[in-house]
Amino acid sequence: MSWAETLRIGLEAVRTHRSRSALTVLGILIGIAAVILTVGLGEGAQGQVRDQINSLGSNLLVVSPGSTTSSSGIRGGFGSASTLTSQDADALASRDVAPDIAAVAPASQRNLSLTAGTSNWTTTVVGTTPDWLSVRARKIDSGRFITGQDVTGHAAVVVLAATTAEQLFGARSPIGATVTISGVPMQVVGTLTAVGSSATANEDDQAILPISTAANRVFGGATRTSVQSIYLEASSSKTLSAAYQEANSELLALHHITTPTGADFTIASQQSILSAATSVDRTLTVLLGGIAAISLLVGGIGVMNIMLVSVTERIREIGLRKALGAPPRVIRRQFLVEASVLGLAGGLAGAALGLVGAAALPHLISQRIDISLTAAAAAIVVAVGIGVGFGVYPASRAARLAPIDALRSE
Amino acid sequence: MTDTESPRTPLPVIELDDVRKTYRTGALEVEALRGVNLRIHEGEYIAIMGPSGSGKSTLMHILGCLDVPTAGNYHLAGEDVGRMSEEDLAQIRNRRIGFVFQQFNLLPTLSAWRNVELPLCYAGVGRAERRTRAISALEKVGLRDRIAHRPNELSGGQQQRVAVARALVTDPALILADEPTGNLDSVSTQDVLGLFGELHASGRTIVLITHEPEVAAAAGRVVRIRDGNVQDDTGSDPRTSTDPRTSTDPRAGGASTTLTWEAHQ
């Protein structure tokens, strides 16, 4: 008997017992939809974090200072020391020292109040260099960014991020207006395009100054050359680890540190930030996916149950088919096909429900859901596999029935 | 049995040599068949009778290759089916035997012609040919206008006719009917028996199992089974049942026996 023939018989059997088949399919359907949605939710959460971290810039390395130990022996956390300086940044910017580093942007920041006319707004004031724009993958919305001349000339200019500009100037264009920071009047020369908030800070609420202006005229303090972080951009994603090595060895040498474990700075890559940030989401995805998989397993047992009922109920039919010349393998195949038809129907319906849910749910729970079509296809394959897997036992029971016993039963 | 003018020597369709069947249920051994010898030739119409528990059902299962003997030999159309695998037996049932059951055993979800084509499905016959052959088999049993009807839309007699058409469709060497009229009223019984008569007239070999004497009367030869043995056989000379050689090959044994046989044909 051909496969097409067997498939036709299987479909007929499923159609004959409509409501029973529908209930069996429902078990698989719920399992598949649950797996697709939970995996999609997990992927969505991870994707959200990934996007936020990627919005920091591409091929980015962040150098932060190490910890300090005060005279009384209390140790501050990472970033509390002021061991990084503008000189470090200048050294890393050298092509000879670090050929794989494309751009360097030292930055120091304070939370300060900005005043423009009658309105005021407290935000993060960042002192940096022109390379910051490319390293952090930002774009100018209007006007211009700070220039090398601004840095060398300690120019009193400021670039505002989108939210900051809106808070201070509303709908008016801030270009050319004056903003007072710590008593120093600054001219607004540009605005940044909005990018949304990152995992760590609202990237759209900040004011950018030339690093020299910030250190000498705004922040003040004793160590005017120290910076809070140095952003490095590797020339490509392939040279990221080479850039890391170059920055690491150069900074160790500059700081006269001989043992790498004694480093007074840390270098983090986007990848390391990303994996730390998404590890929780991944654990949750695995957990929820596991629960969904259990429901799928229960659905599979439902298929087995129904197939066993089907075999018992159709014992005479099996006997007759055997008497008419159906060999055991054909009987087995017939029931396997029937089980996999149930599995396939459940898989297709479950995938459809999952996709509908993925489209509808984000509107209800404001959580991003990433559905991959390969995952949906895999779910359908798994559903058919469950049908076949749980159909094996009932099918071989049917195949093993002695034709006389099967014919005799009432 | 009607007379046939052809002088050809009938071939034995069924040869049973000392066939025994023992069932073991727990510690108890039941001897259902205790050494049955039986020859059935091509074109014969034979009724097997016996009270319940006589072993006639077991005999029918062995004849139908639904079961294998514990000891002894069974040749169907020249093939030794006694020790065949499940797979080979399925093929033998498919190609050599057409079954007619007391319960009709039609699949309720399938139309008449779909029921009839079922054995052809397992024989690997193509779809178009299956339909043609199924319809022509239904035509032979007088149900040309009922091919699309489901079993529940047919009378008992019509259902059994569909079952006969299903038994015919593979053109088997043997039609094996197990109490085919057991569930039918007297009109339908005559109807189905008439059908068997026609099939026999066209040269089919029919083995019919029954306990109704009037049904057995339609057959040309009656074999009575009792306690797992052939008790009485009207078709062959009483000597043949004690000397299997003569009936194994009519030409080799005593001429008189053979002549009796052929005259009877």
A403 touches B: beta carbon within 8 Å: yes
Half-sphere exposure of A274 (CA within 13 A, CB side): 18
The structural domain count of chain A equals: 2
Residue in A2, A328, A404 nearest the CB of B66? A404
How confident is the model at residue B8, as a pLDDT? 52
Residue B15 β-bridge partners = B39, B75
Q: Which of B246, B249, B216, B252 is nearest to B234 (CA)?
A: B216
- Same domain for A310 and A388, yes or no, is yes
| Cβ density class B199-218: b for 16+ within 10 Å, e for less | bbeeebbbbbbbbeeebbeb
A302 belongs to a structural domain: yes
In sequence order, which residues have a C-beta less than 8 Å from that of residue A6 and are 6 or more positions away? A330, A333, A334, A337
**A210, A239, A263 — which closes off a domain?**
A263
A329 belongs to a structural domain: yes
Residue holding tokens 């939370």?
Answer: A111
What DSSP letter does each residue of A231-298 carry, written as one string? EEEESSSTTHHHHHHHHHHHHHHHTT--SGGG-SEEEEEHHHHHHHHHHHHHHHHHHHHHHHHHHHHH
- Same domain for A253 and A398, yes or no, is no
Q: Quick check: B166 and A324 CB within 8 A?
A: yes
- Same domain for A254 and A149, yes or no, is yes
A270 belongs to a structural domain: no
What residues of B are in contact with residue A2 (Cβ under 8 Å)?
A: 124
The model scores a pTM over 0.80: no
Q: Tell me: pLDDT of B20 over 50.
A: yes
CA distance B26 to chain A (A): 17
Alpha carbons B136 and B128: distance in angstroms, whole number:
13
What residues of B are in contact with residue A329 (Cβ under 8 Å)?
A: 87
- Same domain for A163 and A190, yes or no, is yes
A69 belongs to a structural domain: no
β-bridge pairing A229-234 and A178-181:
unpaired
- Same domain for A242 and A370, yes or no, is no
- Same domain for A102 and A38, yes or no, is no
pLDDT: is B254 or B21 the higher one? B21
A386 belongs to a structural domain: yes
What residues of A are in contact with residue B107 (Cβ under 8 Å)?
A: 317, 320
Superfamily holding B43-66+85-234: P-loop containing nucleotide triphosphate hydrolases (3.40.50.300)
CA distance A320 to chain B (A): 7
A12 touches B: beta carbon within 8 Å: yes
B68 touches A: beta carbon within 8 Å: no
What residues of B are in contact with residue A407 (Cβ under 8 Å)?
A: 66, 101, 105
- Same domain for A100 and A247, yes or no, is yes
**CB distance B250 to B261 below 8 Å:** yes
pLDDT: is B252 or A105 the higher one? A105
Q: What is the 8-class DSSP label of residue A162?
A: H
What residues of A are in contact with residue B61 (Cβ under 8 Å)?
A: 404
B256 touches A: beta carbon within 8 Å: no
B125: nearest CA partner in chain A: A1
Residue holding tokens 């809106």?
Answer: A166
* Domain range enclosing A194: 82-263
Q: Quick check: B119 and A330 CB within 8 A?
A: no
A77 belongs to a structural domain: no
**A263, A296, A322 — which closes off a domain?**
A263
Residues (pLDDT < 50) of chain A are 199
pLDDT: is B250 or A286 the higher one? A286
**A263, A297, A319 — which closes off a domain?**
A263
Query: Chain B interface, mutation test: which of A324, A401, A410, most B Cβ atoms within 10 Å?
Result: A324
Alpha carbons B131 and B150: distance in angstroms, whole number:
16
Q: Quick check: B105 and A320 CB within 8 A?
A: yes
CA dihedral B124, B125, B131, B132 (to 10 degrees): -160
A74 belongs to a structural domain: no
Residues 120-139 of B with CB under 8 A from A: 121-124
- Give per-residue pLDDT as tens, B199-249: 898 888 999 998 888 888 888 899 999 888 888 888 653 333 333 333 344
In sequence order, which residues have a C-beta less than 8 Å from that of residue A95 and are 6 or more positions away? none
CA distance B83 to chain A (A): 16
In sequence order, which residues have a C-beta less than 8 Å from that of residue A131 and are 6 or more positions away? A93, A103, A104, A105, A233
- Same domain for A374 and A236, yes or no, is no
Confidence of residue B117 (pLDDT cuts 50, 70, 90): very high
How confident is the model at residue B113, as a pLDDT? 93
How confident is the model at residue A408, as a pLDDT? 74
What residues of B are in contact with residue A321 (Cβ under 8 Å)?
A: 118, 122
- Give per-residue pLDDT as tens, A83-95: 788 888 888 888 8
Structure tokens at A306: 């129904």
How confident is the model at residue A160, as a pLDDT? 92
A71 belongs to a structural domain: no
